[in-house]
Every structure is written in C-alpha cells, then in structure tokens.
Structure 1
Amino acid sequence: MIDKNSPIPIYHQLEESIKQLIESNQLKPGDSLPSEREYSEKYGISRMTVRQAIINLVNERYLYRIKGKGTFVTEQKFEQNLQGLTSFTEDMKARGMKASSKLVSFEIIPADIKLANQLNVPEHGPVYEIKRIRLAEDIPMALERTYISANLVQGLTTEIVQDSLYKYIEGTLHMNIGSGTQVIEASIANKEELKLLEIPELSPVMIMQRTSRLEDNRIFEIVKSSYRADRYKFMIDLKRG
C-alpha cells in the first residue's frame, strides 16, 4: 500500500512493500516482478519513482535484473553465526531446514608433516580424510574436507559420516566438544569446487578452516570448507573492550 500523504518517500514505501513480500515468502526466489509500467499504473506513481525503488533493491541484493527479460527475486543467503561451535547439520536443523550430505570420499590416510602438526599426531599416523558435499534442501552449499585422528575418534563408518559426526562423537563416544578456532578467507573456486558445488567458472567461494578441540583441549579435527559465496554469509557480534 502506498500512502502519498506520508512523509516517507514513495520510492521507499514501494521498496519496503516489495521487501515484505520477499521476506514473507509471497515472492519466492526466481519469481519475476511486475514491470515498471505495471507498478506505475497500479499505484499512480511515476516510473522514475518505481525505478529508484527497484535499483535500491538490486543494490541490496533482494533483486537482480536480466537484460531483455526483467527483474527477479534473488536467492537469499544463509547466515551463519560464527560465535558458536555447531555442525552444518545442527545449523540447518535450527533453521527448520533439511540438511543432508553427499559423500565424495572416505578413507584413512597417513598424516603428512603439516597434518600431523595440525592434529598433534605422529607423522604417518592414521587419519580419516572425509570429503562431503553439504546440502540444504538438496541444494549444494559447501564442499567440506575433514581430517580426524583415527586413533582418537575410533569406529567411524560410511553411515556415520553421512549423518552427523558431532552427534556420534558426543552421543556415542561421549566425548565433549569444547572449542574451535576458525580462519576465513575469500578465493575463486577451483575445478573440484566448480564441479561439486555446481557453480560457474570464476565463482567466488569463502574458505573456512576450523581447528576443533575437545573439552580437555585435545585437537580432534581439522575442517576446510568451501562455501558458495552466492548462498552463504557469516555473522559475528562484536563488543568493544
């Protein structure tokens, strides 16, 4: 609804109206919007006013335009809070979404010097290497490479790694997960990431490497995840002092 007597600019009212339709899922990702002319005739406002509202929503990434085809609703990014140590499965469950994994590979490898130092295990010691595609509502979100000491976390199977590692570690092995350290950097997707995440060439990805520890401070995993930058964003609260 547009109120022409309101002190709020008309273009801003239209922006908020469209935002509300998107956030309430009345306009879904991929849906096309009415043309500028249709908005102009519907609300009795100028096309320039409509254009300003649309441009602002494109800049805010609520919408995107395809030349000659129209304006469409953007896929909204998933937001992950970096202040808690949660698994992908737990994170998606908290959103009421179906999480799943597609196992790419699962094997025991000998730790090289770098991995041995990262996991604090002997060089050439047995380490699980697990590659999984993490999906939300069957959409590929991240390629996850996990390395775990096979002497510390024993009994992993294909069935377990296709479900939730954290649930197995805490629920079955009764090991309490305590803390983690994460480093995030931006990159361009490599060939493996392009293929497995189903993204076009030169797509940006966010690389997150996490070192996770048990309550007794033993390192139990190193995880390197490549997140689709078009579908994911990270959030953290900051406090001064």
Structure 2
Amino acid sequence: MTRGAANPGATLNGMADGPQFTVTLDHAATTPIYLQVAHGIQRWLGTEHATPGTALPSERDLAGQFGVSRVTVRQAIALLTTQGLLERRRGSGTFILPRRIEHPLGTLQSFSDDMRARGQVPGAHVLSFALNRATPHEAMTLGLREHSRVYRIRRLRTADGTPLAVESSVLPEDRVGDLHADTLKDRSLYELLSARALVPVRALRHLRAVNADTEHAALLQVRPGAALLMTERVSWLADGTPIELASAHYRGDRYDFLMELTTPET
C-alpha cells in the first residue's frame, strides 16, 4: 500500500454473525496506524456483534484484512489487552472479554437496579447471615445504644450468572425489623428496605484498591492476588438516621468507578 493513501475500508470478517465492521485507515494522518487499528477494533467491540468469549481472527488474518503488518496488528491488540477489552491465551489466541461496568461514584443505586438497567439479570447468593451484638465500631458508626443487635449479611452478587462482587451489610435490628436469609436470595436489599419505608437517600463511600485473597478469588472466579476494588459505605435515611454500614469487593477486571469533577464556583 502506498503511504499517504487512505485504506478504502478494511473489514473485520469472521468474528461474529451480522454485518461486517469497516475500519478506514488513513496513512497520511499523524495518528499511528496501530492506534487507528486499535480504535477501529475497539468501536467494533462496543457493538452487539462482539460476543464475549469469542476468539478474534489470527494476527496474520487481521493483517491481511487491514492491509497492515502483523507487527502493527500485534501493537493494536496489546493496547486493547492492557485496556481490559481483549485477553491473550497462550496457545489458543485472543478472546473478547466482557464489557467493563462503569459505575458513577456519586450515584446511590442498588446493584440489582444497576444490572437491570444494563439489560442483565442480577443475582444474590447468601454466603452468611447472622444476628449479633454490634461491635463498638458498628455501634458508633450507626449511632446505636450499647448492647444493640445488628444483622450481618454477606452475599455474592452476580449478573447473568457471572460473579461480580461480594457485598457485606450491617443493619440495625431495631430499625429494619425482622429479616430472614431466604428473603434476601436474588433480591435487592434496597428494595426490601424501601418496602419498609426505609429509603437511603445519602451515603459516604470510601474506595481503595486491594488484592484478592484466596476466599475472594474463589468466590469471584479470579486468580489469587488479582486486582479488586473495595468500597466501604455508610448510608442514611432522609431524617439523618444511619441505616446501613456496608462494604463490597468488586472485580477489578470488570468494574470502573467514575466521578464527575467540576470547577468550584467563583
């Protein structure tokens, strides 16, 4: 191909059923060709035709389709791999990873509502359920009297059957009333609270990165030491009453937490 001419339309063939996806490469542009290839594949990965778990064509096939070198294709795939969109499997090829979930930090929304809004089926498997005396930290955070009891609930949250998070909640018995483990299976905790006129309207959340221990790795189906995002949250009712102390471990390969920033008014 003569440098300076635009590729009239390289297509991504054989990747999924449905229309072909066209990538136009401009060799006269200042943007490196491997970035143009990466951006083209990235756009295709955002369409309904890119099925998670599907293998991409080989580097040689992609190079032939795009009219570029295998080195260029390799650079593009390496970039998309670091972005968590593709995964190289030794001896097997390059595969499409599930789309990452972008969750705004400033939104107080249940996991179930979030997944339904994305067209996925939420699930909740109860790992442990207990009613015990509050610890000093729990009592202070939730504003409880001495010897108050709290529910401690730990659940594995899934979307379309894929484990995404391990959630732990501490709820004051005298504020939420009677709870049972079987009522929390595959159900939003916030839906249950709302049915009792206990709607959290404000929360303070802390976020930090941690590595998966053996237990979290097994539950979330990741390797031990994999990156997780851990959040700790306190939620309040409209009258200022604390209603929940919660923590969660999210899969770092599936979650991005977003925050909108604005300049202060002058």
**TM-score normalized by structure 1?**
0.91
Task: Tell me which of 128, 131, 134 is aligned to 1:108.
Answer: 131
For residues 1-241 of structure 1, the aligned pairs below 5 Å read 1-2=9-10, 3=24, 7-8=28-29, 10-162=33-185, 163-170=187-194, 172-241=195-264
How far 1:118 moved relative to its partner? 1.4
Sequence identity, in percent?
32
CA offset digits 1:35-82 (Å, max 9, x no partner): 222122233332233233223322333222233332222232211111
Give unpaired runs (5+ residues) of structure 2: 1-8, 11-23
CA offset digits 1:104-151 (Å, max 9, x no partner): 122211112111111111232110111111111111111111000000
Letter in 2 for 1:140: P
Alpha-carbon distance in 1 for matches of 2:135, 2:261: 37
Secondary structure at the aligned position of 2:176 is classed as coil
- Aligned partners of 1:131 and 1:145 also within 8 Å: yes
Say if 1:66 and 1:192 are closer, same or farther in 2 by CA, change over 3 A. closer
Say if 1:120 and 1:4 are closer, same or farther in 2 by CA, change over 3 A. closer
Letter in 2 for 1:86: Q
Letter in 2 for 1:44: G
Say if 1:190 and 1:49 are closer, same or farther in 2 by CA, change over 3 A. closer
- Aligned partners of 2:233 and 2:247 also within 8 Å: yes
How far 1:94 moved relative to its partner? 1.4
- Aligned partners of 2:229 and 2:249 also within 8 Å: yes
Aligned pairs, number = 240
Alpha-carbon distance in 2 for matches of 1:157, 1:133: 16
Alpha-carbon distance in 2 for matches of 1:165, 1:118: 20
Give unpaired runs (5+ residues) of structure 1: none
- Aligned partners of 1:181 and 1:211 also within 8 Å: yes
Letter in 2 for 1:122: R
The aligned residue for residue 3 of structure 2 is: none
Q: Give the aligned CA root-mean-square deviation in angstroms.
A: 1.9
The aligned residue for residue 17 of structure 2 is: none
Alpha-carbon distance in 1 for matches of 2:33, 2:218: 45
